[in-house]
Amino acid sequence: MRIAIDMDEVLADAHAGQRRLYRDLGFDPTDEDLRGCELRDKAPAEMAAEVERRLHTGLFFADLDPVPGAQDALRRLRAEHDVFVASAAMEYPASCVHKVAWMERHFPDFPISNLVFCGDKSILRADVLIDDHAHHFEGFAGKGLLFSALHNHGHDWPDRLAHWDDCDVRLGEISA
């Protein structure tokens, strides 16, 4: 099976990184406050603008931690499947070099030739796309598997991956 996996909030814990940025600016909402919405939508406008400015430098993407279980899951998936990491990095073009370095640091055995930067994920040719944003499944010819995140809590999507521990079972169900 050919699998495409999103980077931010699926492999890289961008949510925790953004929470640190907002906390440094004095905004520290609870998980309950953020269920079903993006941090920037809850933050004061001037803070959201400052965080957005920092994201556009690209440096933010260099220091993220991996999502728990992502490293082991990617290693297992690569042993059985054709795996690509697909990031809609065009929203933050300066992030690309930092995302490559991040992949090399946290997934040193992952072939960089299988790292895809795009704007529209419908261009991907894969059987499954694992992503935390359901809008990336629009126009995608394969099956969309929504990776659970605070911002997509309550989003009605039939195929969901709650955490990386479930990926083998969920992919087995999809391929059956």
Residue 8 annotated among the catalytic residues of the structure: yes
Residue 28 annotated among the catalytic residues of the structure: no
Q: Are residues 46 and 110 in the same domain?
A: no
Cβ atoms of 70 and 161 closer than 8 Å: no
Q: Are residues 87 and 118 in the same domain?
A: yes
Q: Are residues 54 and 119 in the same domain?
A: no
Overall domain count for the chain: 2
User: How do residues 55-100 score in pLDDT, each as one tens digit?
Assistant: 999 999 999 999 999 999 999 999 999 999 999 999 999 999 999 9
Mean pLDDT of the chain: 94
pLDDT score of 35 more than 90: no
Domain that holds residue 49: 14-62
Q: Are residues 80 and 109 in the same domain?
A: yes
Q: Are residues 27 and 112 in the same domain?
A: no
User: How do residues 96-116 score in pLDDT, each as one tens digit?
Assistant: 999 999 999 999 999 999 999
Q: Are residues 75 and 151 in the same domain?
A: yes
Instruction: With cut-offs at 50, 70 and 90, classify the pLDDT of residue 176.
Output: low
pLDDT score of 172 more than 80: yes
Q: Are residues 106 and 158 in the same domain?
A: yes
Tell me the mean pLDDT in the region 21-47.
91
